[in-house]
Structure 1
Amino acid sequence: MLAETRGWLSTRTSTHHDWGVEDLREAKERSGSRVSVVIPAKNEVATVGAVVAGIVAELVRAAPLVDEVVVIDSDSRDGTADAAREAGAVVRAAAEIRPDLGTNPGKGEAIWKSLHVTSGDLLVFVDADLRLWGPHFVTGLLGPLLDDPEVLLVKGFYDRVLRSGGAAVSTEGGRVTELVARPMLDLWWPELAGVIQPLAGEWGARRPLMESLQVPTGYGVEIATLIDTFARHGLDAIAQVDLGARAHEHQKDHDLAVMAAELLAVTRARCPGAEGPGVRADVLQQHTRDGGWRERKVPLVERPPAGPLRLDIEEAR
């Protein structure tokens, strides 16, 4: 079911319509796989309950395809954990998972910590702040993993809908994607230029892959996983799926600058011949119009591969 674009931009591409739930259930039974959906969350009380409830209702109860839905709560202060738990998720506080390994703030940290408390052979990561989405996000990402054992990583892509006053006004989104991530890939990893949304928060992977990779603790986790998978396993290990449309809250430009700085450091560390992130400090200084400065923390910590550190699931819990 994976269409291939030939040439140096080849990336295996499909659409979520290609992957029916019943076909996926049969493929899962044949493979003997377990599926974990992981939702990293911080202060997303307004949306996380609906995301969890939709997945649980459609893919756990109605058509049992997903074995566990786990929300990794990153120090939320707004009731995110309670909302997720009431909707049917297993909720774990990131800081309380393997405290012997310490804790860091960030999305990548939540994903890395999830490897210590989930049991799925196939992992699907979904953002907690989604407002326009559907359970087909999960089935679409599982499709290539269940269809082809050579596929190790699946990236989602979609129309990213900007919202103003509750109305969808544009499908132009992903400012950091278009202005930072894709140009960097085009320049240094041109084989990955066909990956439409390398920073997509909806993606799937096989556990052995994730447990073998070094994981940035912040927003660099997605692009690092993409680059490292390509470097180790080649382009044939990567697929992408059109998930339709997606809407979520968008950050202001000066907040996105921190994400951009982290992506620059993460990719710089992975450039051929590079040693380390190539930055002098983990603080981004932003000059303000009134002559002052904003100092913003840039997460530069990377976690080692989780596989050698992983305990028995019950012990980790």
Structure 2
Amino acid sequence: MVRNATFIRREPPGTHLVIELLGKIRLARMRYWEKQEFAIPPLMGVPVRDSDVTVSPVVEAWATYRTSTAGDWPARRLVRAKGNSRVSVVLPARNEEATVGAIVSTIREHLIDRVPLVDELIVVDSRSTDRTAQVARAAGAEVVSQDAMTRGLPRLTGKGDALWAGLAAAEGDIVAFVDADLREFRPHFVTGLLGPLLTDPSVDFVKGFYHRPLVGATSVEPDGGGRVTELMARPLLNLFWPELAGFVQPLAGEYAGRRDVLERVPFVTGYGVETAMLIDLLELVGLDALAQVDLGERKHRHQDTAALGRMSAQIMLTAWSRLQRRGWAAPGVAPTALLTQFRRGGSEALPNLDREIVVNDVSVEERPPLAQLRHRIPHRRVAA
């Protein structure tokens, strides 16, 4: 049961929220109270309650109304709902020759050949040094180069830049992004993302979530996946963007959106891309235009803790940039973009530490909204 709660928080006017009214879930537009006396109000995002702590009514209502499961969206139903809309699926891939072929083959067999749901299937080769491009092309995908799609623009690196290039290459009205390192891929990873968009015109963006077992060398931890989410991203979003607290996995790499909306947000080029996208879309279209879908179990490659530290640093820098843009962080103050880590042993280990100091550049860059640069982007068939 949701008890009375009030959120005190500064927010741009016109924010869309989902509220619970008279026991029914309804969509409404409302304005948060403006607190002008502090750059960051001292209770920003913290519920002020007259009883036990419970979930925010906004979050509970949204999660109830805007959450579905992949099983709710069978492919043939979506084909009927699709009408004249075109659907693109984009896989950003860097050195994923071991998995990309099976993913492409599954999508082509089940969602193109058997059921005409997906109109184009694109793999963005993100400077791979293995046979990713050849494997993807042989499996039936159209392969475009990240560098070719960004020719004439500053050279950037990272997953977010590959996503941006994929959006530039795609021609669909709805564009779905799927990671290329998934194992045991199933068609519902795509149909689940497309369902809310094809059946509800008020939905602009859908984020996937899933069960992520952590597979170790000798054991499987059932709920061990999503370490960066639980240790850093979720607390960060809850503190500063509490209306996003209902997203089960805000860093999930599977999501889909309407082209005209995706082209209006910037793409952070590194690991902060998912965080930035949620925050920017919240501001652009509001919470009630966002949805999430349960995709079941997801198995993919896990990274070591040092890599997760670098990922976390980029997400924190991304969040800082959004706080500054909204006046919630000190203007003109730039955090360091260097992350110092330690590696045991090594040729340059310090004698008194028995560890080598490793300094990583975790700076964050971003591509501007594609709509601003569309005239400078080559057609993918020219860029290929």
TM-score, normalized by length of structure 2?
A: 0.77
Alpha-carbon deviations, 1:141-169, whole Å to 9, x = none? 00010111111110100101222359755
The reply to whether residue 206 of structure 1 matches residue 270 of structure 2 is no
Q: Which runs of 5+ in 1 are unaligned?
A: none
Q: Cα offset for 1:291?
A: 4.0
In structure 2, the residue corresponding to 1:292 is in which secondary structure?
strand
CA separation of 1:176 and 1:35: change in aligned 2, threshold 3 A = same
Determine the C-alpha separation between the residues in 1 that align with 2:151 and 2:118. Answer: 28
Question: Which residue number in structure 2 is paired with residue 99 of structure 1?
Answer: 151
Question: Taking every aligned residue pair, what percent have the same amino acid on both sides?
Answer: 48
Q: Tell whether the 8 Å contact from 1:4 to 1:13 is kept in structure 2 after alignment.
A: no
Q: Tell whether the 8 Å contact from 2:169 to 2:379 is kept in structure 1 after alignment.
A: yes
Q: Tell whether the 8 Å contact from 2:105 to 2:139 is kept in structure 1 after alignment.
A: yes
Q: Tell whether the 8 Å contact from 1:27 to 1:147 is kept in structure 2 after alignment.
A: yes
The reply to whether residue 295 of structure 1 matches residue 359 of structure 2 is yes
Alpha-carbon deviations, 1:45-100, whole Å to 9, x = none? 11111111111111011111001110111111111111111111111110111311
Q: Which has the larger radius of gyration?
A: 2
Q: Cα offset for 1:209?
A: 1.1
Q: Cα offset for 1:281?
A: 3.9
Q: 1:219-298, aligned counterparts within 5 Å?
A: 219-271=271-323, 272-273=326-327, 274=329, 279-289=334-344, 290-298=354-362
In structure 1, the residue corresponding to 2:339 is in which secondary structure?
strand
Q: 1:185-196, aligned counterparts within 5 Å?
A: 185-196=237-248
RMSD between aligned alpha carbons?
2.1
Q: Cα offset for 1:102?
A: 2.8
Q: What letter is aligned with 2:379?
A: I
Q: Cα offset for 1:217?
A: 0.4
Determine the C-alpha separation between the residues in 2 that align with 1:257 and 1:146. Answer: 37
Q: Tell whether the 8 Å contact from 2:317 to 2:335 is kept in structure 1 after alignment.
A: no
Q: Tell whether the 8 Å contact from 1:282 to 1:298 is kept in structure 2 after alignment.
A: yes
Determine the C-alpha separation between the residues in 1 that align with 2:163 and 2:185. Answer: 21
Tell me how many residue pairs correspond in the alignment.
313
Q: Cα offset for 1:219?
A: 1.4
Q: Tell whether the 8 Å contact from 1:84 to 1:91 is kept in structure 2 after alignment.
A: yes
Alpha-carbon deviations, 1:266-300, whole Å to 9, x = none? 11111231377954443322134524311223141
Question: Which residue number in structure 1 is paired with residue 370 of structure 2?
Answer: 306
Determine the C-alpha separation between the residues in 2 that align with 1:184 and 1:296. Answer: 22
Q: Which runs of 5+ in 2 are unaligned?
A: 1-23, 27-55, 345-353
Determine the C-alpha separation between the residues in 2 that align with 1:42 and 1:81. Answer: 9
Q: Which has the higher helix share?
A: 1
Determine the C-alpha separation between the residues in 1 that align with 2:68 and 2:91. Answer: 23
The reply to whether residue 8 of structure 1 matches residue 58 of structure 2 is yes
Q: What letter is aligned with 2:142?
A: V
Q: Tell whether the 8 Å contact from 1:268 to 1:277 is kept in structure 2 after alignment.
A: no
Determine the C-alpha separation between the residues in 2 that align with 1:177 and 1:23. Answer: 33
CA separation of 1:182 and 1:244: change in aligned 2, threshold 3 A = same
In structure 2, the residue corresponding to 1:212 is in which secondary structure?
coil
Q: Cα offset for 1:316?
A: 5.6
Alpha-carbon deviations, 1:219-273, whole Å to 9, x = none? 1111111111111221101000000000001000001111100000111111231
Q: Cα offset for 1:103?
A: 2.2
Question: Which residue number in structure 2 is paired with residue 41 of structure 1?
Answer: 93
